[in-house]
Amino acid sequence: MPVVDVRLLAAPAFSLSIGVDGAMRYAGVNDSLCRLTGLDVGDLVGRTPAECLPPEIAAHVETQYRHCMKLGSIYEYEEHLDLPGGAKWWRTALSPILDPATGTATGLFGMSSDITDRKRDELELRSAAFKDSLTGICNRRRFDRDLDLAVSGALEAGRIFALVLADVDRFKPINDTYGHAAGDAVLQELAGRLAKGIRSTDRLARIGGDEFAAILWVDSEAATDEAMQRLRFHLDEPMRIQDHAMRVGMSFGTVLWRPGMTTAGILAEADHAMYREKRAIAA
């Protein structure tokens, strides 16, 4: 070992030897990989991942190496590693080095490429696809996905949550009186105020023209009431839009998930609750 002299390769590459005790040690690392990772050849060669890498990273890469050994064939994967050279996304291809007599793996050969720019572009596109362009919060597409996941989690694991639907009171007169630009500014302001009232684990979305929704991770009616107090807290303050002072209210419909409720069922119940509150305000 190593069968392949990785120092002769231009692409980032490494090799590992596998001892009779099953321990894997880096047998070769080339300069290209060292430059990108910020790791030093002398700190790697002859050592196991656990001896030269941070514990979480060592456990992760060793899991990948052993998976390749178990497969006994080429194995490719993507990973995000925070190394001395900086946090980067990598695409790595591993190949076991087999003993021709026994067919057992005596080592591994790996080649990696830095795909950070591509992954960043992918993540930005994915984020844009799930973001409401006007308010910057989640859009209907993301909300539908999150609600399906929440209901699935509740059905399978009993993780309780509350669904909140909200609608702006008398929004049409705002558009008619002050114009659509003022209406957009109101929606942006409301989105910001609602966002202040939810926790980082909750989800807020704009799902229609003047309709908002939230998924709140609560497990009781009492916790739901507390969460709704936080959500409503910043809405009472008047807002100033285009030099006009406005008080803009919202009607809410809140439902705590119950065993057996489907996505359609909880949506319908929250919608009915919201319109009951809206009718009470209008009365």
Q: In the predicted model, is pLDDT for residue 162 greater than 90?
A: yes
Q: What is the DSSP string of 112-173?
A: EEE-HHHHHHHHHHHHHHTB-TTTSSB-HHHHHHHHHHHHHHHHHH----EEEEEEETTHHH
Q: What is the pLDDT of residues 175-209, one digit of tens each?
A: 888 899 999 999 999 999 999 999 988 999 999 99
Q: Give, for 41, the enclosing helix (H) or strand (E).
A: helix 41-44
pLDDT tens digits, one per residue of 17-36: 999 888 999 999 999 999 98
Share of the chain above pLDDT 90, in %: 69
DSSP string, 172-217: HHHHHHH-HHHHHHHHHHHHHHHHHTS-TTSEEEE-SSSEEEEEE-
Tens of pLDDT, residue by residue over 198-246, are 998 899 999 999 999 999 999 999 999 999 999 999 898 888 888 888 8
pTM confidence score: 0.60
Cβ contacts of residue 115 below 8 Å, gap of 6+?
78, 89, 90, 91
* pLDDT mean over 252-264: 95
Looking at 210, 219, 225, 271, which residue is catalytic?
210
> What is the overall mean pLDDT for the chain?
91
Q: Which two tokens mark 140?
A: 């209907």
**What tokens were used for 119?**
């992954």
Q: Residue 84 pLDDT > 60, yes or no? A: yes
**pLDDT at 283 (0 to 100):** 61
67, 70, 76, 80 alpha-carbon torsion, rounded to 10°: 10
CB atoms closer than 10 angstroms to residue 133: 8
| Stretch 242-258: mean pLDDT | 91
Asked about 114 being catalytic, the answer comes back as no
| DSSP secondary structure letter of residue 266 | H
Question: Mean of the pLDDT values across residues 119-145?
Answer: 87
Q: What is the DSSP annotation of 73-114?
A: S-EEEEEEEEETTEEEEEEEEEEEEE-TTT--EEEEEEEEEE
Residues 23-73 pLDDT 10s: 999 999 999 999 989 999 999 999 999 999 999 999 999 999 999 998 989
Q: Check: CB of residue 92 under 8 Å from CB of residue 110.
A: yes
Sign of CA dihedral 6, 7, 12, 14: positive
